[in-house]
């Protein structure tokens, strides 16, 4: 299949996706699209326009190439006798891989500041590779250069907490292409119904009212100054610098989802969202048995407050270890692997506790182990917290491809310094139904002893 055929195939797929959204709206007899539907349609329209432009361009080029081929064939028929030709199809490796010998950062620098045609050609070829192999997010969506995938996949030398909550316990959306705020209407006063006292008597009536929930789009970014010597003479610099910036970006996003203050450009995270349920566990000598009723309280507050079922527990790995370490009076563990056929177990799991989606559950809800949960809360600055959350009400918007741009600026020509920047946009809110989240805190969650 040619590149043009792939573009046409993708254009047809985009139309099918758009038709499916609109058909669903029509089937439900609605005249308005939801925010998610509107964002999806806008993204599909934008992609279809980009594809139409590319199709027109490559169609014109293909027609021109065909005419040139006809002329060449006619000339060849006159000048040379016919021979049997052999065609060999080869698969070329990607331009930037860990073993390619090409440095993405060095090429980006040389292309921009030295007009290196070889570097420009490799970057252009890399962009075409991304258009063909990553059609869902085309390079046209990025404000700068496309980061090679191998830089994202390689392990970074510096440990990062990552984004367990963002990946496993949020309702994900694509951030709209424009605007720095998202607005959601929240009905704060509902209508009413009641038994009619008698025939022809007035029926219940209460005027509904709503409040606008405004969610700010936030920018998370990082930079690193590099010497030209490191870029030009170093080996593997891009893998260390860019990968670490990317991993740091995702960790910061997850940390903001949990702990952001909502001020000074921060996301308003779960623990600082007004209206979430609060459960206090005060205990100078905490035990798992004494913690259990507080967990049940956090669970029931969600069902009582917003009539929803919570979906996840989020806790620090040390709190999960506290549960795993608990034993009964006979020194038998309270949390046991499901394979052991447990009876009356406090919690069950796969046997080995994994970071992120731990494989363990509590009251039927999966436990997410996230090291971005603070461990310096409380008056003693030694407490962590436990979150009982309803994932459909933790809304996370991310720009497609974030962190989606890598730019280069000469920050100190006199000192041979180049700046590398990674950035992306996101928004988060637990404020649509704050009572769909419970936060357990208190002295009972001070640093555990093992």
pLDDT, tens digit, 9 for 90 and up, residues 404-423: 756 565 556 678 777 888 89
Segment holding 212, helix H or strand E: strand 209-216
Domain coverage including residue 7:
3-79+94-151
Using alpha carbons, list the distances in angstroms from residue 23 to 18, 36, 58.
9, 15, 31
Same domain (yes/no): 103, 177: no
Looking up residue 416, the CATH number of its domain turns out to be 3.30.2400.10
Same domain, 288 and 375: yes
Q: Which residues is 349 bridged to in the sheet?
A: 337, 360
pLDDT(370) > 90:
yes
Sign of the four-CA dihedral 31, 32, 33, 34: negative
Confidence of residue 74 (pLDDT cuts 50, 70, 90): low
Does residue 284 lie in a domain region? yes
Which of residues 134 and 444 earns the better pLDDT score? 444
Domain tally, the chain:
2
Residues 195-218 have a mean pLDDT of 94
Q: Does residue 367 share a domain with residue 312? A: yes
For residues 256 and 398, the answer to whether their CB atoms sit within 8 Å is: no
Is the pLDDT reported for residue 101 higher than 80? no
Tell whether 141 and 161 lie within a shared domain. no
Rounded percentage of the chain residues whose pLDDT exceeds 90: 46
* Per-residue pLDDT reduced to its tens digit, 262-280: 999 999 999 999 999 999 9
User: Looking at the structure, do residues 168 and 60 belong to the same domain, yes or no?
Assistant: no
Is the same domain home to 248 and 139? Answer: no
∠ Cα 32 311 258 (to 5°):
85
Residue 254 to residues 19, 68, 146, Cα–Cα distance (Å): 34, 55, 23
pLDDT tens, residue by residue, 138-178: 333 333 455 565 555 554 468 899 999 999 999 999 999 89
351 within domain boundaries:
yes
With 0-12 CB in 10 A as exposed, 13-18 as middle and 19+ as buried, what is 80?
Answer: exposed
pLDDT in tens, 319-332: 999 999 998 888 87
Angle between helix axes 35-79 and 3-27 (nearest 10 degrees) is 150
162 and 57 co-located in one domain: no
The pTM of the full predicted model, rounded to 2 decimals, is 0.66
Specify if 105 maps to a domain.
yes
CA 418-421-422 angle, 5° bins: 155
Same-domain check for residues 178 and 134? no
Tell whether 144 and 212 lie within a shared domain. no
């Amino acid at each position: 299949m040619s590149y043009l055929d792939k573009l046409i195939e993708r254009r047809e797929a985009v139309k099918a996706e758009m038709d499916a959204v609109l058909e669903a709206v029509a089937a439900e007899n609605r005249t308005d699209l939801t925010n998610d539907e509107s964002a999806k349609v806008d993204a599909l329209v934008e992609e279809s326009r980009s594809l139409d432009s590319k199709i027109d361009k490559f169609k014109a080029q293909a027609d021109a190439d065909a005419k040139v081929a006809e002329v060449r064939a006619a000339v060849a028929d006159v000048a040379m006798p016919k021979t049997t030709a052999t065609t060999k199809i080869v698969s070329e490796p990607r331009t930037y891989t860990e073993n390619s010998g090409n440095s993405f950062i060095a090429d980006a620098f040389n292309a921009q500041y030295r007009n290196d045609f070889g570097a420009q050609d490799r970057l252009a070829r890399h962009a075409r590779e991304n258009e063909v192999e990553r059609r869902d997010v085309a390079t046209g969506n990025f404000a700068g250069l496309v980061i090679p995938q191998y830089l994202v996949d390689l392990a970074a030398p510096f440990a990062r907490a990552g984004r367990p909550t963002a990946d496993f316990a949020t309702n994900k959306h694509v951030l709209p292409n424009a605007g720095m705020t998202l607005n959601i209407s929240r009905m704060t006063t509902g209508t009413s119904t009641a038994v009619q006292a008698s025939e022809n008597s007035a029926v219940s009536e209460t005027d509904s009212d709503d409040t606008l929930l405004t969610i700010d789009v936030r920018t998370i970014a990082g930079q690193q100054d590099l010497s030209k010597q490191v870029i030009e003479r170093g080996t593997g610099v891009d893998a260390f610098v860019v990968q670490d910036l990317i991993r740091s970006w995702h960790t910061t996003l997850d940390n903001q989802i949990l702990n952001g203050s909502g001020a000074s450009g921060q996301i308003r995270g779960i623990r600082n969202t007004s209206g979430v349920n609060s459960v206090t566990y005060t205990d100078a000598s905490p035990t798992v048995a004494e913690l259990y009723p507080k967990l049940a309280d956090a669970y029931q507050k969600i069902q009582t407050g917003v009539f929803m079922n919570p979906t996840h527990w989020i806790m620090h790995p040390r709190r999960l270890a506290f549960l795993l370490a608990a034993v009964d009076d006979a020194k038998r563990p309270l949390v046991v692997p499901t394979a052991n056929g447990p009876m009356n177990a406090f919690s069950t799991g796969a046997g080995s506790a994994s970071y992120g989606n731990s494989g363990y559950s509590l009251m039927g809800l999966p436990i997410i182990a996230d090291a971005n949960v603070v461990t310096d809360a409380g008056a003693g600055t030694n407490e962590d917290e436990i979150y009982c959350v309803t994932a459909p009400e933790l809304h996370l918007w991310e720009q497609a491809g974030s962190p989606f741009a890598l730019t280069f600026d000469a920050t100190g020509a006199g000192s041979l310094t180049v700046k590398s920047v990674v950035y992306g946009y996101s928004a988060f809110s637990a404020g649509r139904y704050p009572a769909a989240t419970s936060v357990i805190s208190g002295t009972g969650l001070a640093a555990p002893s093992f």
